[in-house]
Structure 1
Amino acid sequence: MSSVDEGDYRRAVSRFATGVSVVTTQDGHLDHAMTANAVCSVSLDPLLMLVSVEREARFHDAIIEAGVWGLSILPATARGTAQWLATRGRPLHGQLDRVPHHRGEVTGVPLLSEALAQLELKTVQSHPAGDHTLVVGHVLSVQASEHPGDALVYYRGRFGALP
């Protein structure tokens, strides 16, 4: 067991600036989405990415069951979208109604239309990790803006911009 104080740990890792994205999936006919900053490129051969999903989150069971998911990397102008999709207890039905999105051509998962980049992925592995699951996906498609604006970042518990 660790003797590290959870508050000290949270304060320390909040000093690590991360990009902000929205991870999406579709379970049955219901769209699911969550704001995520624990996303990582894993491999170029094969193309793999991972997302860390809290096991108690509604999104967890949806992404595991669906087996496919989308990743939309957010621009600085999407702070409201990031906050909305990070809100615990938001309505499950229609959570993307206020967010411009379209369906991925390969998987049909929702992708945010105003994102700096959009990826479609197929889950190839999942690994329990404490109170989260690391979901590893094989990249099936990529779209990236030729002229991206500023990126949305998360630093010290707040959303901000990074040119």
Structure 2
Amino acid sequence: MSLEPSAALRQAMSRLATGVCVVTTTVDGHDHAMTANAFTSVSLEPPLVLLCVRLDSGFQDAVSTARRWGVSVLAEEHRRVASWLSTPGRPLQGQLTRVPHHRGESGVVLLDGALATMECETVEEHVAGDHVIVVAEVIRADHADSGSPLVYYRSTYTSTR
């Protein structure tokens, strides 16, 4: 039995271990957050990253409106945070109240204990299939000196230990 191309791609890509991050932005005083693993660097000069966001998600509307957003690269201790912020239908109000965090210099939420954090400003958006590829310049970045990453592999969160 052969799989449809999208199902086959989903299965194939689940074999690619990826890091997990939380992406945040603020619109009209409301914080928006989502768990993502479709995030990567693009260029060092200038410092660019990209994020893929579903077209039909509320976060896509928020990040497109705000243009400034934060990225927190998750440590293995953030497994419950990653699960919570990837839960469909969770309320916008208070979604970060149980997540230890602080604000970066640009005002975006950054998670406490993250392996790395970045504050970004969108420079381009490209629609590709059912997603938007958001390209942004990194305006500030920081990292921890230790910790183990949270990894997404075979559709589950795991660690490298």
TM-score by length of structure 1 reads 0.95
- Aligned equivalent of 2:137: 138
How far apart in 2 are the matches of 1:122 and 1:38? 17
Q: Which runs of 4+ in 1 moved over 3 A?
A: none
Q: Which residue of 2 aligns with 1:155?
A: 153
RMSD: 1.1
Question: Which residue pairs with 2:103 in the alignment?
Answer: 103
- Cα offset for 1:5? 2.6
After superposition, the C-alpha distances for 1:85-128 in whole angstroms (9 at most, x for unaligned) are 000000011110000011111x1000001101100000001110
Unmatched segments (≥5 aa) in structure 1 = none
- The question of 1:75 aligning with 2:75 is answered yes
Aligned to 2:28: 28
Deviation of 1:78 after TM superposition, in Å, equals 0.5
Match for 2:152: what amino acid? Y
Q: 3-state SS of the aligned residue for 1:150?
A: coil
Aligned twin of 1:59: 59
Task: Give the residue type in structure 1 aligned to 2:132.
Answer: T
Q: Return the letter of the residue paired with 2:116.
A: A
- Structure 1 residues 11-65: Cα deviation after superposition (integer angstroms, max 9, x where no partner): 1110000000000000110000000000010000000001000011110000000
Q: CA deviation at 1:4?
A: 4.9
TM-score, scaled relative to structure 2: 0.96
Q: 2:125, 2:160 → 1: CA distance?
A: 31
Deviation at 1:7, TM superposition (A): 1.6
Segments of 5+ residues of structure 2 without an aligned counterpart are: none
Rounded to whole Å, the distance in 1 between the matches of 2:9 and 2:117 is 31
Residue in 2 that maps onto 1:113: 112
Distance in 2, matches of 1:6 and 1:140, equals: 35
Aligned residues: 159
In 2: Cα distance, 1:59 partner to 1:27 partner: 10
